[in-house]
Amino acid sequence: MRKLTCYAWGKPGDWEALCVDLDIAAEGETFEQVRSELSDAVETFVDYVWELPEIERRTLLNRKAPLNIRFRLAIASKLFGFTSALKLGAGGRGIHRAEFSVTPSA
């Protein structure tokens, strides 16, 4: 099982999320929706890639978002993570860092 680092940010009605470990993004109207959309997209991608030949699988499962994006999100999360997590519960603007695991079905 591999843990993937994902970020979500936005405001009520307009959320974006990115899995920086696989460079997969999603959009939604709420934090819960965007997290679910991203989780589904990651799971679909991993399930598809798992069926490919080993060399392609290794390449696609190790693609990451560009370094400057990963760095900016990690810094923003560290600087604003706790405050933003509190704001998220109230439907406010902020950045939230979420980690979750994906297990390929194969």
Q: How far apart are the two ends of the chain, measured CA to CA in Å?
A: 12
Q: What is the pLDDT of residue 99?
A: 52
Q: Is the pLDDT of residue 57 over 90?
A: yes
Query: Helices (H) and strands (E) in the chain — how many of each?
Result: 3, 4
Q: How far apart are CA 44 and CA 67, in angstroms?
A: 24
Q: Per-residue pLDDT tens for 31-48?
A: 889 888 998 999 899 999
Q: How far apart are CA 90 and CA 106, in angstroms?
A: 39
When the pLDDT of each residue in the chain is averaged and rounded to a whole number, the result is 79
Q: Per-residue pLDDT tens for 70-100?
A: 998 888 777 765 444 434 343 445 566 665 5
Q: What is the pLDDT of residue 41?
A: 93
Q: What is the pLDDT of residue 37?
A: 93
CA distances from 98 to 5, 34, 35, 51, 66 (A): 7, 12, 9, 27, 19
Name 92's Cβ contacts closer than 8 Å, sequence gap at least 6. Answer: 11
**Whole-model pTM?**
0.77
